Structure 1
Amino acid sequence: MTREGSTAQTVNILIVAQAGRLSYEAVLFAASLQAQGEDRFRLIVAEPVPGPLWESDPRIRQPEVRALLKDLGAEIRPFEAQYFGGSYPYGNKIEALRVLPEGEPFVFFDTDTLILDRLSRVPFDFDRPTASMRREGTWPQIELYGPGYTQTWKALYDRFGLDFDSSLDLDWPDEYWQRYLYFNAGFFFYKCPKMFGDLFLGYALSVRDDPPAELVCQSLEPWLDQVVLPLVIHRLGGGRNMVPTGLLDGEVSCHYRVLPLLYAREADRVVEVLEAVTAPNRIKKVLKEYDAFKRMIYQGRGQKVRALFDRDDLPRREQAIRNKIKREGFWMR
């Protein structure tokens, strides 16, 4: 277990960046991480390289973005997409785990994450993996005459010889989505990327290529990574809330998804950190090349979005927030 103030080994932070929006999000992530003055966490940016599974070159194209990432302390490591690529870019987070050293603890973050405080505040127990609990009941989508939650999830646990009953949260009623182990894949961690990645890849390919019959009504696009992630975590002895609540997806990190959602719903502290870490000229010069960042952060559109919402009385569903922003003409990504 890693605790603040200990002499624990360096922890690898992994994000994936490629051409377009993700490369600018990676700059923002790196700038926010560096701003916290950490020395225990090493940032590695995995970058897909051209290959038969990509229609176009997926690499970061702007030399100024590459240079700034390195200046912010990131190491860019290439990887080849062997199984997913352009047909399922969410699979990058599965295949990118290969760039990390075997046997060293890691934390994966989606690039659309802002680091708000020192990650050393988080008492990671790398023997017991978990992932983000900031999620909605997006999968499975139950059809009237199709399999229910229990039948659907149990088929997956049975496929891989996992104990289904021990994964349930009995505080929630049968056939309610929160009873079943389900995460957002915005972050996850473990003591070894090879062990985690081998399971993640094997489970994902099995479900993609030969889904259980009980998934007949279910879409795996874009949910495949979040469908198999609970199975991986359960297999490795992890589960819900393996770190104290309120740190990741709270005081220490924010998975904002897209900037309009950040301005609409996140706490004042998140906006303060965002605008502070993007203010230096070397950061601004690069980020303003991306239109959404330029307009949201530097031209004030984000503050207009923020004025549309009461953070103490937000719509319960994210889609309602998105719809309101779109109606006002402020949606960008």
Structure 2
Amino acid sequence: MQTELGYRSISYFFVMDGEGFEAPAILLAQSLRNALGDDPKLIAYVPEDKIETIQRVTRRMLTVLNVEICALNTENVQWDPAYPHGNKILASCARRSTDLSVFLDTDIVCLSNMKFDSVTSNTSVFAVPEGVPTWGRKDETWHPVYEMFDLDIPEERVKLVKGRQRIVLPYFNAGFVGFREHGNENGQRFPDLWLETAKAIDANPKIEGKRPWLDQIALPVAAARMGGKIEVLENTYNFSPYRLKGDEDISDVKLMHYRMGAHFRKYEACRRVTEIALEQCPDRLRARLRNKLELFLRGVDLPAHLAN
């Protein structure tokens, strides 16, 4: 199998699942444009039943930032019980014209340029290990999952990025998931196998405690089914500030997975993203945007021209 470096173009995409996701989506898109410029394609997938409810200021900001809004059919997969996390898998399955696609949770902000030079035509997926073993703490827990698909237990291990940094079977945080759009030499695309794998695991009563980690359980298994190599990226591509003070050197961080507005507000680089978004916003809508970003602006002193 050829292993030449595998991309010329790239899409970054996220799921905007209702009004509560609009503010972080704006900041994510703004931060991507700040760090990466105009070239990458940015796509916001919105469930079909919510696309008409997108607020005016959000639509305008996504237009300013050249973000394509695409309707997402969430009715064609019946999770039982409902599984909103699964929307990221459905969005991943949508076809894009670029060589690479990267899914990002909306509670992520991009702080510096990213290059995926380690990704080759033999890469099935690229991701960052999870922080702690939220599922599958023991190898034996994974055995029935791999056995479902007649797969051997992987020889590879990854180091988790938080706490004791345990060495475990491949297990990744699904807030950042990248893959090659054109799939492997057999024409299999990673996201299609990810969905198929997740549905099969979800329907298997022998696999317990799956929620909300079903997407993360299915991810390495789908990659194993696809063949090729999982490219394990550094923590700087999915950095968590949880339990950190806010005065850390984050100059090497590419993507910060802040999760909470309070974590976001600790860092000057993050606060600057909100200022730039307000500067980009048309004057007549700036007050609405300030209101929408209230969680991220709480206690932050804005320049006078943005505060009024």
The interval holding the TM-score normalised by the smaller chain is 0.7 to 0.9
Q: 2:176 aligns with which of 187, 211, 219?
A: 187
Q: 1:247 to 1:168 in 2, by over 3 A?
A: closer
TM-score (norm 1): 0.70
1:10 corresponds to: 9
Q: 1:154 to 1:168 in 2, by over 3 A?
A: farther
Q: 1:74 aligns with which of 52, 62, 67?
A: 67
1:62 corresponds to: 55
- Count of matched residue positions in the alignment of Structure 1 and Structure 2: 269
**1:159 is the counterpart of 2:158:** no
**1:133 is the counterpart of 2:129:** yes
Separation in 1 of the partners of 2:278 and 2:97? 37
Q: 1:84 to 1:108 in 2, by over 3 A?
A: farther
The one-letter amino acid of 2:62's match is: L
Asked if structure 2 preserves the Cα contact closer than 8 Å seen for 1:14 and 1:44, the reply is: yes
Separation in 1 of the partners of 2:17 and 2:58? 11
Q: 1:97 aligns with which of 75, 85, 92?
A: 92
RMSD: 3.1
Asked if structure 1 preserves the Cα contact closer than 8 Å seen for 2:154 and 2:169, the reply is: no
Asked if structure 2 preserves the Cα contact closer than 8 Å seen for 1:17 and 1:60, the reply is: no
Separation in 2 of the partners of 1:103 and 1:278? 26
Identical residues among aligned pairs (%): 23
Deviation larger for 195-204 or 228-237: 228-237
**1:232 is the counterpart of 2:234:** no
TM-score (norm 2): 0.76
Separation in 2 of the partners of 1:134 and 1:248? 9
Separation in 1 of the partners of 2:120 and 2:18? 31
Higher share of residues assigned helix:
1
- Give unmatched runs, 5+ long, in structure 2: 183-187, 240-251, 302-308
Asked if structure 2 preserves the Cα contact closer than 8 Å seen for 1:181 and 1:240, the reply is: no
Structure 1 residue 179: deviation in Å? 1.7
Alignment of 1:1-333 (within 5 A): 8-50=7-49, 57=50, 60-81=53-74, 82-84=76-78, 87-101=82-96, 104-119=99-114, 121-125=115-119, 127=121, 128=123, 129-140=125-136, 149-169=138-158, 178-192=167-181, 195-211=189-205, 213=206, 215=207, 218-236=208-226, 237-239=228-230, 241=232, 243-244=233-234, 246-249=236-239, 251-263=253-265, 268=267, 270-280=269-279, 282=281, 285-290=287-292, 293-300=293-300
SS in 1 for 2:229: coil
Asked if structure 2 preserves the Cα contact closer than 8 Å seen for 1:116 and 1:254, the reply is: yes
Asked if structure 1 preserves the Cα contact closer than 8 Å seen for 2:100 and 2:181, the reply is: yes
Asked if structure 1 preserves the Cα contact closer than 8 Å seen for 2:109 and 2:270, the reply is: no
Asked if structure 2 preserves the Cα contact closer than 8 Å seen for 1:18 and 1:60, the reply is: no
Separation in 1 of the partners of 2:44 and 2:159? 39
Asked if structure 2 preserves the Cα contact closer than 8 Å seen for 1:91 and 1:225, the reply is: yes
Deviation per CA, 1:249-277: give whole Å up to 9, x if none. Answer: 3521111112123346xxx4543544443
SS in 1 for 2:259: coil
Asked if structure 2 preserves the Cα contact closer than 8 Å seen for 1:65 and 1:286, the reply is: no
Asked if structure 2 preserves the Cα contact closer than 8 Å seen for 1:288 and 1:298, the reply is: no
